[in-house]
Every structure is written in structure tokens, then in C-alpha cells.
């Protein structure tokens, strides 16, 4: 009987403790994408990607130009109606442009391998930094609101699978949390949104939640 009473009291305490829990649900992906710092970093990254694409386009145009010149020189070198001297000159020009084609091709490959990789590394570092920053803000927000548990529901993780598939949406704090993390930074948020809207095209490499 004494053992039963102890178990009963223990169970009752556990139930009371569980009842005291204050739970909320947060869509961190939505909060992340609406965070003024994320938008600012997105703009920076978009600008860097735009500069990279413009440089790559110039290289590709130079490659195509050299390729066309090489083809013209080869055709001239094979022209039987041309003089021997002209054909020799065309062969020399073909060799020059053929080497230029190869050099531009290597430069394009190097640009893709180094510069694009560097941009991707910057993106990953920025995402991790912002994710850590928001996680800390979520902890501070929970403490201020007296929340004992905050469940992430968007799949803001490497698996992209939400921690909870079904939950009481009326207990979601995403909107309120988003307002808090941008509070006092409304001007920066608006400026970042406006800057992003002016870009010619939104690339797929923007700062995003972890994939």
C-alpha cells in the first residue's frame, strides 16, 4: 500500500508538472525569411551573384569571339584559291585563336570552380550564423513569454522534415516572433525589401534555410 501511495504521488506530481508546461509552435523558416538581417544578406549575396554572372558572361562572349575567329582562320587556311603566303598567315592566326579558345575555356572552368564555390561557402557560413542568431533570439523570446517548450514546425533543418506534422496552429507564435526580431529595425527591413525588389532577377542562390 505504501509503495502504491508513493507511485500515486509521483504520478500526480508528474501530471501537475506537465500541466504547468507552456507550449508554443514556431515556423522558423518563415521567421528566417522575414528577418531583416536575412534580407540584408540576401541583397549582398544577390549582388555578388550578379557580378559573378556578368563576369562569366564576358568570358563566354570572349570565348565565342575567339572560337569564331579560329573557325574563320581555319577556313581561310584551307582556301585553295588563296596564295600560299595568305594560307600560311591564316594558319598562324588559327593557331593564335585556337590557343585563345583553350585559354578562355580554362578561365571559365576556373571561375566556376573557384569563385562560385567561394560564393556557396559564404552562403553556407551566413546561413549558419543567422540560424544560430535566431535560435538564441527564440530562446530569449520563450524566456520572456514564460514558455517551457517551443516546437519548430517548418523543417528548418538538414532533413527539411517538420518536427511536428500536426499541431494546434492557434498556439503558433511565428507572427509575434517575427515582429519581435524585426522590432526597431523596420527601416532596415523595408530598405532590404526594396533593394531586393529592384534586382533584375532573383537567383536561386539566395541565402536560404538549411537544405
The whole-number average pLDDT for the span 175-198 is 90
What is the Cα–Cα distance from 41 to 134, expressed in whole angstroms?
Answer: 14
Phi, psi of 210 (to 5 degrees): -55, 140
**Please, which residues bridge with residue 98 across strands?**
none
The C-alpha cell at 194 is 526594396
* Contact indicator for 76, 82 with CB cutoff of 8 Å: yes
What would the 3-class secondary structure string for the chain be? CHHHHHHHHHHHHHHHHHHHCCEEEECHHHHHHHCHHHHHHHHHHHHHHHHHHHHHHHHHHHHHHHHHHHHHHHHHHCCCCCCHHHHHHHHHHHHHHHHHHHHHHHHHHHHHHHHHHHHHHHHHHHHHHHHHHHHHHHHHHHHHHCCCEEEECCCCCCCCCCCCCCCCHHHECHHHHHHHHHCCCHHHHHHHHHHHHHCCCCCCCCCCCCC
Residue bearing the bigger pLDDT, 55 or 166: 55
Give pLDDT tens digits for 98-120: 999 999 999 999 988 889 889 99
Structure confidence at residue 183 (pLDDT): 92
Prediction pTM value: 0.66
Alpha-carbon distance 67 to 97, whole Å?
A: 7
Position 59 confidence tier, pLDDT thresholds 50, 70, 90: very high
The tens digit of pLDDT for each residue in 117-169 reads 899 999 989 988 998 898 889 889 988 999 888 888 887 665 554 566 456 77
Q: What is the mean pLDDT of residues 70-84?
A: 89
Amino acid at each position: 500500500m505504501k509503495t502504491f501511495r508513493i507511485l500515486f504521488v509521483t504520478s500526480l506530481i508528474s501530471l501537475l508538472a506537465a500541466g504547468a508546461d507552456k507550449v508554443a509552435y514556431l515556423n522558423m523558416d518563415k521567421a528566417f525569411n522575414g528577418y531583416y538581417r536575412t534580407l540584408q544578406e540576401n541583397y549582398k549575396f544577390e549582388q555578388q551573384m550578379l557580378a559573378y554572372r556578368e563576369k562569366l558572361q564576358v568570358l563566354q562572349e570572349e570565348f565565342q569571339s575567339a572560337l569564331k575567329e579560329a573557325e574563320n582562320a581555319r577556313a581561310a587556311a584551307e582556301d585553295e584559291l588563296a596564295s600560299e603566303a595568305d594560307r600560311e598567315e591564316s594558319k598562324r592566326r588559327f593557331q593564335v585563336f585556337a590557343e585563345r579558345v583553350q585559354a578562355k575555356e580554362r578561365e571559365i572552368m576556373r571561375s566556376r570552380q573557384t569563385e562560385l564555390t567561394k560564393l556557396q561557402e559564404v552562403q553556407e557560413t551566413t546561413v549558419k550564423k543567422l540560424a544560430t542568431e535566431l535560435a538564441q533570439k527564440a530562446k530569449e523570446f520563450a524566456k520572456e513569454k514564460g514558455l517551457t517548450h517551443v516546437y519548430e514546425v517548418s523543417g528548418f533543418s538538414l532533413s527539411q522534415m517538420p518536427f511536428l506534422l500536426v499541431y494546434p496552429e492557434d498556439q503558433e507564435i511565428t507572427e509575434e516572433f517575427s515582429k519581435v526580431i524585426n522590432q526597431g529595425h523596420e527601416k532596415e527591413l523595408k530598405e532590404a525589401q526594396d533593394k531586393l525588389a529592384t534586382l533584375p532577377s532573383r537567383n536561386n542562390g539566395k541565402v536560404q534555410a538549411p537544405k
